[in-house]
Amino acid sequence: MKHAVVLCVLLASSVSTLSARTPGQQPEGFPAAGAPAIVTMISTGAAPRSALRYTPAAGTRQQMDMTVGMTMAMEVGGNAVPAMTLPTVRIGADCLVSEVAPSGDVTFTMAFTGTDIDAGADPTVATQFQGMYDALKSVKGSATISNRGVTRTSSFDFGAVTNSQLGQSMGSMMEALKQVSIPLPEEEVGVGARWVARSTFAANGLTLFQKTEFELVSFDGKTMTLKSKAEQSALPQAISNPALPPGAEVQLEHLTGGGSGTLRLNLNELVPVSDATLDSTMVMKVAMGGNAQQMTFTTSLKLTIAPGK
Q: pLDDT for 186-204, tens place per residue?
A: 999 999 999 999 988 876 5
Supply the pTM of this predicted model: 0.84
Structural domain containing residue 46: 5-307
Beta carbons within 10 angstroms of residue 33's beta carbon: 17
The CATH number of residue 117's host domain is 2.30.230
CA dihedral of 260, 262, 268, 270, whole degrees rounded to 10: -60
Question: Phi and psi (nearest 5°) for 8?
Answer: -60, -45
CA–CA separation, 82 and 77 (whole Å): 14
Q: What is the pLDDT of residues 125-175, one digit of tens each?
A: 666 666 666 677 777 889 899 999 988 888 877 666 665 555 555 554 555
CA–CA separation, 135 and 158 (whole Å): 9
Radius of gyration of the chain, Cα coordinates, nearest whole angstrom:
20
Number of domains, the chain: 1
pLDDT of residue 8: 36
Q: What is the tally of helices (H) and strands (E) in the chain?
A: 3, 14
Beta carbons within 10 angstroms of residue 110's beta carbon: 18
